[in-house]
A = this chain, B = another copy of it.
Amino acid sequence: VVTIKDVSKRAGVSKSTVSRVTANNGYVSERKREIIERAITELGYRPNTMARGLRSNRTNIIGNVVVDVASPFYAQMVGGSQAACRQAQKSMLISSGYADQNDESNAIMELIDRACDGLVLYLENPVREDVADIIRNSGIPIVMIGGDERKLGRAVIKIDNYSGAKTAMQFLVDKGHRHIIHLSGPLAYRDTRARLLGIKATLADANIDEKKVLIRHGEYFEKFGYLETLSLLDSGHKFTAVFAGDDDIAAGVILALKERGLHLPKDVSVIGFDDNFHARHLSPALTTVRQPTREVGRLAIELLAQILDGKDLEETEITVPTELIVRESVTTV
């Protein structure tokens, strides 16, 4: 492999001068710069990133933890982050936390050990105390997406789940629905709780008794939506609309409803959350609340890049709006 020394010899200058050119800092005369650049291309020199990082404590690597890269929701987010990284000339180390505190904290440690310049974290649990200490001590800047229980983030991006759910519920209410089922995700997730709050806000505003809305909790899986809907139907519950905790649940709901011979949206309206990949392919096409995942991923990296460039974003908190996507699964009652 060709090193900086080879280049310096070939160009007849010192290593420092070459470094000044490659790292693009410090004064170099036009003449030498040209000579050096020629030597670099001729030799095909590529600076050793590890030596560089060891010396300068800068790697240009950004670490990224999401819940699960394999899920379309986070994949989109990662896609946005990656595009922004490329633009900012950074590489991206990526890891999944699987909504488990230990997995999440281990993932963070891995990234810190890798000497990432900064971290973008989408977590579902508080950071383990020992890891939180390490983060604080290392001074590595963090952009949090979603929660920020321990104030570790230099900047926080929140997705407005509250308003999203509030708007969705309002939509149902406006369409005349009063007997509504809410198939919610687990209370352990902060997004679930935010959505619940949004729902209640609409109910309060509209002077509707909270009891009118039957809430059931389960996992964010199609299966939960399917089984719960069947059980509700079979036990004789009457309802005109189902607000599904997310689009996966909604898919199960639709499946169950159809299986029992119900016509959608005539007999029952369904609304989802996320605007996941399959939402518009459901039949009827699902009315749902879009989460701007890609934009959030991009934004997180942009904020982090600014922090790394020395901008002081302390206490920055950005709330990104959700958007009601009206398709065909909700009708007037």
Seen from chain A, the residues whose Cβ lies within 8 Å of a Cβ on chain B are 1, 44, 46-51, 53-54, 59, 61, 68-72, 74-76, 78-80, 82, 91-96, 110, 112-115, 134, 138, 251, 277-278, 281-283, 294
Q: Is the CB of A54 within 8 A of B44?
A: no
Given contacts A277-B277, A281-B282, contact A69 B79 (CB under 8 A): yes
Q: Is the pair B277, A48 in contact by a Cβ cutoff of 8 Å?
A: no
Q: Are B50 and A115 in contact (CB under 8 A)?
A: yes
Say how many copies of this protein the assembly contains: 2
In the complex, the answer to whether B113 meets A46 with C-beta atoms within 8 Å is: yes
Sampled A-B contacts (10; CB under 8 Å): A1-B138, A49-B113, A69-B69, A69-B82, A70-B294, A75-B78, A79-B96, A91-B110, A92-B94, A281-B281
For residue A68, which residues in chain B have a CB less than 8 angstroms away from its CB?
Answer: 79
Provide the residues of chain B in CB contact with A281, threshold 8 Å.
251, 278, 281-282
Query: Chain B: which residue is nearest A285 at the CB level?
Result: B255
Do B44 and A50 touch across chains, with their CB atoms under 8 A apart?
A: no
Residue of B nearest to A110 (CB): B91
Do A93 and B95 form a contact, CB below 8 Å, given A49-B115, A76-B70, A277-B277?
Answer: no
Complex alpha-carbon distance, A48 and B138, angstroms: 13
The answer for the CA separation of A76 and B73 in the assembled complex, in Å, is 12
Known: A70-B294, A72-B72, A75-B69. A82 touches B96 (CB 8 A): yes
CA gap between A1 and B113 in the complex, in Å: 12
Chain B residue nearest in CB terms to A247: B281
